[in-house]
Amino acid sequence: MDITYRVDKDILYIAVEGRIDASNAAEAEGKIFGIKNDNPGKHTVVDADKLEYISSAGLRVILRLRKEEPRLAIINVASDVYEVLDMTGFTDMITVEKAYQRMSVEGCEFIAKGANGAVYRYDDETILKTYFAKDALPEIKQERENARRAFVLGINTAIPYGIVRVGDGYGTVTELLNATSVTKLIRRDPEDMSLAAKYYIDMLKSIHAIKVEDGEVPDMKETALSWARFVSAHIPEEQGKKLRALIEAVPKQNTLMHGDYHTNNIMVQNGEPLLIDMDTLCMGHPVFELGSMFNAFVGYSELDHQNMMDFFGYSFETAGRFWKTALKMYLGTEDEAVCQSVAEKAMVIGYTRMLRRAIRRPEEADSPAKIARCKEMLAVLLDKVDTLVF
């Protein structure tokens, strides 16, 4: 038997591992109440993820804990332990949550990765997304809610139907029959990416055609303003003033946006594109979406082209051509001057975001080079861009 704990805001998680029976119940009770007394005022949750067995002596420990903690909850309960709790009536007086099904990505086909997780083909019918954060349940629940909201709004998206445990973390399961990613389409034929770009832009236009209510999703203009305010302290005063003014002048729009729109997030099933990553839904002027897209296909890998291969599996040159092709399709023009003008507006947003990120992560080896590059490009762009609207 082993008992550990962690504190997350106002919740005290007490993890119980192994067996609790007559031989160690008194020891378990002492440890549990000692932890609780050392963390007064916290809501107690017992994490039974690794609890293999509990006897009547162990149940009495839980009962005494329940008397001191009326809101007590027990989570990640294995089937055998759940049956004992259910049979003895504990499920009627305590919140008891069954453990999530365990799945492994070993031997699975890797599809793509994003900022928050990686996606695998689990079998012919199932996509499994794993999350990098060990305690990603709030993030997962928010993403599922966003997926349901997007589906109701008319976006062709696949809604995760199950939460599972993958190693020490969590994942979601989505049914996607015979689907492939836009990323894979590009890798198959990097010389002809017209079909991949069409799927990509068709989905983007369907998202941007939707209007949402105030407060329904975050306003990206406010987020971008926070980036500008932060970086203003690190660039010349006049540049910072103009940067803030440019963003403030962008008219408020309730256009739905994805917020992290790149080819790993788009699957193609039966000739139709589907979104599979919904945790970044937001609203605002499309220039903010294009800024994120510029970063994905150019900005983040500008100083180290290997980043592009690691993230997408295609070259930096291919990504650059895709960015230009997709932008032309989105704008509906082949006019290079028009496309370059819009690209420069997007780059202002992109470099602002990257500069903030690099400054806030000084421990990363390439941060000084990124900071210098972003400052250099913002100086050039702010000298020529007079509006972010297109």
pLDDT digits (tens, 9 = 90+) for 71-106: 999 999 998 999 999 999 999 999 999 888 889 999
Q: Note whether residue 279 is domain-resident.
A: yes
CATH code, 19: 3.30.750.24
Q: Which of 175, 191, 226 is the last residue in one of the domains?
A: 175
Q: Contact at 8 Å (CB) between 169 and 132?
A: yes
Q: Note whether residue 390 is domain-resident.
A: no
Residue tagged 């408020």 (tokens): 252
306 and 369 fall within a common domain = yes
135 and 17 fall within a common domain = no
Q: What is the mean pLDDT of residues 261-272?
A: 91
pLDDT for the residue 332:
97
216 and 362 fall within a common domain = yes
Question: Which DSSP helix (H) or strand (E) runs through 246?
Answer: helix 237-248
Position 383, amino acid:
D
Q: How far is CA 79 from the centre of its chain?
A: 30
43 and 29 fall within a common domain = yes
Q: Note whether residue 27 is domain-resident.
A: yes
185 and 289 fall within a common domain = yes
Residue 282, CB-side half-sphere exposure with 13 Å CA sphere = 19
218 and 94 fall within a common domain = no
The strand pair at 266-269 and 180-181 is best described as antiparallel
Q: Note whether residue 185 is domain-resident.
A: yes
The strand pair at 73-77 and 43-54 is best described as parallel
pLDDT for the residue 247:
98
Confidence of residue 183 (pLDDT cuts 50, 70, 90): very high
54 and 129 fall within a common domain = no
Q: Which of 175, 196, 214 is the last residue in one of the domains?
A: 175
Q: At what angle do helices 336-360 and 286-297 cross, to 10 degrees?
A: 70
CATH code, 297: 3.90.1200.10
In DSSP terms, which residues pair with 191 in a beta bridge? none
pLDDT digits (tens, 9 = 90+) for 311-355: 999 999 999 999 999 999 999 999 999 999 999 999 999 999 999
What is the DSSP annotation of 131-195? Answer: ESSTT-HHHHHHHHHHHHHHHHHT--BPPP-EEEEETTEEEEEEE-TT-EEHHHHHHH-TT--HH
Cβ atoms within 10 Å of 295's Cβ, excluding its own: 22
193 and 292 fall within a common domain = yes
3-state secondary structure of 293: helix
29 and 163 fall within a common domain = no
The strand pair at 162-166 and 282-283 is best described as unpaired
Interatomic CA distance for residues 231 and 218, integer angstroms: 21
Residue tagged 């294009």 (tokens): 290
Q: Where is average pLDDT lowest: 176-180, 237-241, 304-308?
A: 176-180
pLDDT digits (tens, 9 = 90+) for 142-172: 888 888 888 888 898 887 888 899 998 999 9
Q: Note whether residue 233 is domain-resident.
A: yes
263 and 296 fall within a common domain = yes
238 and 286 fall within a common domain = yes
- CA distances to 14, 263, 327 from 197, rounded to whole Å, are 49, 9, 9
Interatomic CA distance for residues 162 and 98, integer angstroms: 13
Position 236, amino acid:
P
N residues, the chain: 390
User: What sign for the dihedral angle of Cα 189, 194, 199, 204?
Assistant: positive
Q: At what angle do helices 220-232 and 237-248 cross, to 10 degrees?
A: 170
pLDDT digits (tens, 9 = 90+) for 188-215: 999 999 999 999 999 999 999 999 999 9
Cβ atoms within 10 Å of 35's Cβ, excluding its own: 18
Position 111, amino acid:
I
Interatomic CA distance for residues 125 and 174, integer angstroms: 8
Q: Contact at 8 Å (CB) between 147 and 154?
A: no
Residue 80, CB-side half-sphere exposure with 13 Å CA sphere = 8
Q: Note whether residue 104 is domain-resident.
A: no
Q: Contact at 8 Å (CB) between 79 and 98?
A: yes
Q: Note whether residue 389 is domain-resident.
A: no
Is the backbone of residue 18 left (phi > 0), alpha (psi -120 to 50) or beta?
left
Interatomic CA distance for residues 312 and 265, integer angstroms: 11
Mean pLDDT for the chain overall:
93
In the predicted model, is pLDDT for residue 262 greater than 80?
yes
The boundaries of the domain holding residue 283 are 180-384
Q: Which of 99, 124, 148 is the last residue in one of the domains?
A: 99
148 and 210 fall within a common domain = no
pLDDT digits (tens, 9 = 90+) for 94-147: 999 988 888 999 999 888 777 788 889 898 888 899 999 888 888 888 888 888
Q: Output phi, psi for 366, to 5 deg.
A: -95, 5
- Domain total for the chain? 3
